[in-house]
Amino acid sequence: EVQLVESGGGLVNPGGSLRLSCAASGFTFSSYSMYWVRQAPGKGLEWVSSISSTSSYIHYADSVTGRFTISRDNAKNLLHLQMNSLRAEDTAVYYCARVGPTVAFDIWGPGTMVTVSS
């Protein structure tokens, strides 16, 4: 079964750090670009970061540039998001998603909740 499962979310103080992970299974992880998309409570979807299959191309939303770092380990089928200097506005469910042959986000994980609050 093709699957993505996120982990690493939780409650963190403003200014703190968290590292999210996304475990992929059921497909050739190393062949696909991967994305992080977040959804603040009661809000819409927001693209956060993306990484190409070989990590050659990495992009960030302006709102997280300089604070978040995306990475991947193709040998372990893992995607990561290191989040530093967290702010209240980073509070959201974070989804990892695959861009498939259709050029759409065809596989999504169930999400992991990140809450930034003192």
The one-letter amino acid at 44: G
* Residue whose token pair is 């200097």: 85
Residue 2 is a binding residue for another protein (CB under 8 A): no
Token pair, residue 87, equals 């702010």
Which stretch in 10-18, 63-71, 75-83, 102-110 sits in contact with another protein by CB under 8 A? 102-110
Residue 113 is a binding residue for another protein (CB under 8 A): no
24 in Cβ contact with 7 (< 8 Å): no
Q: Which of 7, 54, 55, 59 binds another protein (CB under 8 A)?
A: 59
| Closest C-alpha to 95, from 41, 43, 42, 45 | 45
User: Which parts of this chain interact with another protein (CB under 8 A)?
Assistant: 35, 44-47, 50, 59, 61, 95, 102-106, 108-111
